[in-house]
Structure 1
Amino acid sequence: MSETISPAFTFVKDGVFYFSRRIPKDLKKHYSSPRIAYSLRTRAARVAEARARRAADQLDEYWFHLRSKDADLPGKHMLRLQGDGRVVASSSPPEVSSASVKLSEAVGIYLRLKGQGRPDTFHRAVERSCGYVIDACGDKHLDAYTKADANKFRDALIKRGLAGSSITRIFGTVRAITNFAASELGLTLTNPFNGVYYDREAGVSDRNPIPADALSEVQRQCRQMDDDIRWLVALVSDTGMRLAEAAGIVREDIERRPDGSLVAQVRPHQWRRLKTKGSERIVPLEGEARWAAERLMAQAADTKFLFPRYNKKDQTNANAASAALNKWIKQMAPDGCTMHSFRHSMRDRLRAVECPADIVDQIGGWQTDGVGHGYGAGYPVEVLQKWMKAVT
């Protein structure tokens, strides 16, 4: 091949080959320029041809995904993320660095490798967190961010009125993305988003346990109203399960043991992941939780879900359940009590009967400190059942 003939999707400037490709009409709304163009950093036609073909193939693949589900694209150095996760055209000119990538490109790397099989909420949280950085400091290469940028980012989050716990979560996400992308690219990077000071307690409200009298009233009302929503409340109230764990449960997760007792298998499903690996567990169903499970299992088996109203799509809608149930609970419980308060109450109830802390952790799926706790299969169901009977 003659060095004077440019391979497909390239042109030569001052002896250096550049990649160049027009943006399809239906995708121009995503770009600030009608064409992607950047240096291939070579003067050799054969090298330029291979690099250009690889870039063109990537674009073809990602453009297909963009048309179908708005996936991340090559050439994302020309894009920026809004705070709500939407991608819009950037007003700044494209930059290319052989040593680093921009934050928006790091998001694409992170989601491509770490986002497989993760729910939409995971993807939105990643894009939203980095969108906040881009809104406050611009879409820079990872090694171009400074401590001043990190402090500016912090100030922007505080100005938004976010609580300290939310700021901590967002900073954690940004750190994870920058560290992961730097590791993948072999960059030596001092992460400026480490060690940023802010009041972690600002705006954080305590999650209160539900008092015993309010707990009794809620459970009494569940029996009286006797519908699927109240069965969900009753199930959570006497197990301490997270709401999403209970809402995404299916018939096969409820097991009747030879002695007639019932247990719930809390395990990950395609439609509902678990918060941590330690969240996978067996929970004895006693008290009102057993009553709710019996009522649920007696229903017509036209679906595998025990709570189909919160599993109509491919993901358990725990947010909808939380909004509806918290509103109902407010009528009987003090201010500050939510569905999650049952989880706090269960821990207090187990403490009150002097249940050993590691058994409490196993029942609730909490992390138990210490290397030794990672050995063995944990306490048998009969032991867990003894303590659950003591509090119900």
Structure 2
Amino acid sequence: MKYLKRDPRNGNWLYRRVVPKVLKSWVSQTEFVISLGKTQNDALTQYGTHHQKIEHMIALAKMGVSGLSPAEQRARLKAMLEVWGADPHSAGRDDEERTWREEAAAKIVDRYQDPVTGEYEGVPEEEAVKARALLGGVTKNSPEPTVTDAFNFYLRENAKDTPEKRKKQEQRFRRAERNLIAALGGDKAVSQLTREEVRRWRDMRIEAGAAAGTIKREKSDLSTVINTARSELDVRGDNPFENLKLPKSNVSRRDEREGLPENVIAGVYAQLEAGPPDLLAIWTLLDFTGARPSEIRELNVGEIVLDHDVPHLVITEREGRSLKTSWSIRKVPLVGKAFTEARKLVKEDADASAPVFPRYSREGGMDRLSQALNGRIRKLSDNPKHVTYSLRHNMSDRLRAAEVYDATQRAIQGHSFGRGEAASYGGDIPLEKKREALLTAMKVHE
């Protein structure tokens, strides 16, 4: 809470913020100073409301209100009136307020008035909307949520916990939003969506050449957003995406990726022998644990446990690091080359919370890692199904070939144990059992 300050005179809490340059022509003061109460709890409760008002004002000054959904437009105009000290839902509380609001509206539109006829001509919608808000306020009730409102709300409420993941999430959902709005011919109230329109979206995506798997994932995202709007924004009606018939994929999910041929795995090792050492360590850990690339690149030093009867990695959620599912939380034994590399990575005086792979753990690291490793794979194979993630498929194949018990396979790779009672009872597979499985699967003799 950047603008939460303590008043040194009386100890009260304030929202205190220098007026941004973009608002200099909108407000007369040089600083926003708003009392938030005597206690910190009061301040924390009120901070968000006042901060949002000013952020709406900044957005209004920078981008205006054109092209917004009715709800977004109302929110920005309401914030404008409230920051000015005006009643947002009327023409003014008294004659003095009504007078200055009329004068402010006149300054906006008077230059568009014909001096002969007195008629207003060519007033841009952007300025007309502001003038109308000054003259009459905005409605008390927020307009019905549109598709854009539903997406904005969903992304606000379900934002990923790191900038990198939020960026990818935003790109993915905004792409789905654009495709739906293109099929609709424009933004539309969520409650007014019809089955015919979502079929039109599906047909449009098919005609555009989107893969069946892509359409299925996009439909799932759209359906999730609509369901969230129904439960959280009081949107009425059924979800028209439910049970929508989709094209069948010619490629199973299992076949979207293939395990790497042994010569390719060995070839990447050979390329990495000259360095860099962190990339060799990542490749080795991926190969010998079957973990996801994101799980390895985000490891902290304290999550490599060597002083244990069974040395292992701890893959867990923490601040700044989320996992695909709760089943992904696990311990994976370090065997063979993985143990050798892990010993090089952990120094005696190292900070347990420090990232093991700083080059790849920060924002943009996943893309850099994929480019670095996939580039080396591509020198050995032009098969698009051969990528770094393929090493997880290799591990699955090795565990099955070694006739490792299914639950142990799942425990090693962080897969769900299923649904219902099978997934609800029992603890994790012991580290010793996982270690035995990996030693057999990787043909390591220790």
User: Which of the five TM-score ranges fits, normalised by the shorter chain?
Assistant: 0.7 to 0.9
Give me the whole-angstrom Cα distance separating, in 2, the residues matched to 1:331 and 1:125. 29
Secondary structure in structure 2 of the residue aligned to 1:368: coil
**1:194 paired residue number:** 242
Q: Per residue, is there more helix in 1 or in 2?
A: 2
Say if 2:392 is the partner of 1:348. no
**1:290 paired residue number:** 339
**Residue 181 (structure 2) aligned to one of 113, 134, 144:** 134
Amino acid at match of 2:343: E
Pairwise CA RMSD of aligned residues? 3.7
Give me the whole-angstrom Cα distance separating, in 2, the residues matched to 1:283 and 1:325. 22
Deviates more, 1:237-246 or 1:154-163: 154-163
Task: Map 1:195-274 to 2 at 5 A.
Answer: 195-201=243-249, 206-223=256-273, 225=275, 227-259=277-309, 261-274=310-323
Secondary structure in structure 1 of the residue aligned to 2:289: coil
Seen in structure 2, the aligned counterparts of structure 1 residues 142 and 111 have a Cα distance that, compared at 3 Å, is: same
**1:165 paired residue number:** 213
Q: Is the 8 A contact 1:101 1:142 kept in 2?
A: yes
> What is the Cα deviation at residue 258 of structure 1?
3.2
Secondary structure in structure 1 of the residue aligned to 2:229: helix
Seen in structure 2, the aligned counterparts of structure 1 residues 116 and 240 have a Cα distance that, compared at 3 Å, is: closer
Secondary structure in structure 2 of the residue aligned to 1:265: strand
Give me the whole-angstrom Cα distance separating, in 2, the residues matched to 1:333 and 1:377. 41
Cα deviation, 1:315-363, whole Å, max 9, x if unaligned, reads x621221122111122235622111110001011001111011110010
Seen in structure 2, the aligned counterparts of structure 1 residues 225 and 169 have a Cα distance that, compared at 3 Å, is: same
Amino acid at match of 1:208: E
Task: Map 1:29-44 to 2 at 5 A.
Answer: none
Secondary structure in structure 2 of the residue aligned to 1:339: coil
Larger CA Rg, structure 1 vs 2: 2
Amino acid at match of 2:319: Q
Give me the whole-angstrom Cα distance separating, in 2, the residues matched to 1:216 and 1:148. 53
**2:156 paired residue number:** 112
Give me the whole-angstrom Cα distance separating, in 2, the residues matched to 1:273 and 1:69. 34
Give me the whole-angstrom Cα distance separating, in 2, the residues matched to 1:202 and 1:150. 23
Q: Is the 8 A contact 2:416 2:423 kept in 1?
A: no
5+ residue gaps, structure 2, are 1-19, 24-48, 74-124, 130-138
**Residue 432 (structure 2) aligned to one of 373, 382, 385:** 382
Secondary structure in structure 1 of the residue aligned to 2:331: strand
Secondary structure in structure 2 of the residue aligned to 1:117: coil
Say if 2:191 is the partner of 1:147. no
Cα deviation, 1:200-245, whole Å, max 9, x if unaligned, reads 4157763111123433443454445462112111110111111111
Give me the whole-angstrom Cα distance separating, in 2, the residues matched to 1:372 and 1:274. 22
Seen in structure 2, the aligned counterparts of structure 1 residues 214 and 340 have a Cα distance that, compared at 3 Å, is: same
**Residue 228 (structure 2) aligned to one of 149, 173, 180:** 180
Give me the whole-angstrom Cα distance separating, in 1, the residues matched to 2:359 and 2:241. 41
Give me the whole-angstrom Cα distance separating, in 1, the residues matched to 2:235 and 2:301. 49
Give me the whole-angstrom Cα distance separating, in 2, the residues matched to 1:347 and 1:389. 14
Cα deviation, 1:66-91, whole Å, max 9, x if unaligned, reads 59999x99x643779xxxxxxxxx99
Say if 2:70 is the partner of 1:77. yes
> What is the Cα deviation at residue 25 of structure 1?
11
Say if 2:170 is the partner of 1:123. yes
Deviates more, 1:330-339 or 1:348-357: 330-339
Give me the whole-angstrom Cα distance separating, in 2, the residues matched to 1:262 and 1:271. 25
Q: Is the 8 A contact 2:260 2:386 kept in 1?
A: yes
Cα deviation, 1:238-292, whole Å, max 9, x if unaligned, reads 1111111111111011011433x42001112333321111111101111222222
Seen in structure 2, the aligned counterparts of structure 1 residues 66 and 308 have a Cα distance that, compared at 3 Å, is: farther
5+ residue gaps, structure 1, are 1-23, 28-55, 81-89
Secondary structure in structure 2 of the residue aligned to 1:264: strand
Secondary structure in structure 2 of the residue aligned to 1:238: helix
Secondary structure in structure 1 of the residue aligned to 2:256: coil
Seen in structure 2, the aligned counterparts of structure 1 residues 114 and 190 have a Cα distance that, compared at 3 Å, is: same
Amino acid at match of 2:295: E
Give me the whole-angstrom Cα distance separating, in 2, the residues matched to 1:236 and 1:156. 39
Give me the whole-angstrom Cα distance separating, in 1, the residues matched to 2:289 and 2:427. 20
Give me the whole-angstrom Cα distance separating, in 1, the residues matched to 2:348 and 2:277. 11
Give TM-score scaled by structure 1 length: 0.72
> What is the Cα deviation at residue 192 of structure 1?
1.3
Seen in structure 2, the aligned counterparts of structure 1 residues 337 and 116 have a Cα distance that, compared at 3 Å, is: closer
Aligned residues with identical type, % of pairs: 26
> What is the Cα deviation at residue 366 of structure 1?
0.8
Seen in structure 2, the aligned counterparts of structure 1 residues 239 and 258 have a Cα distance that, compared at 3 Å, is: closer
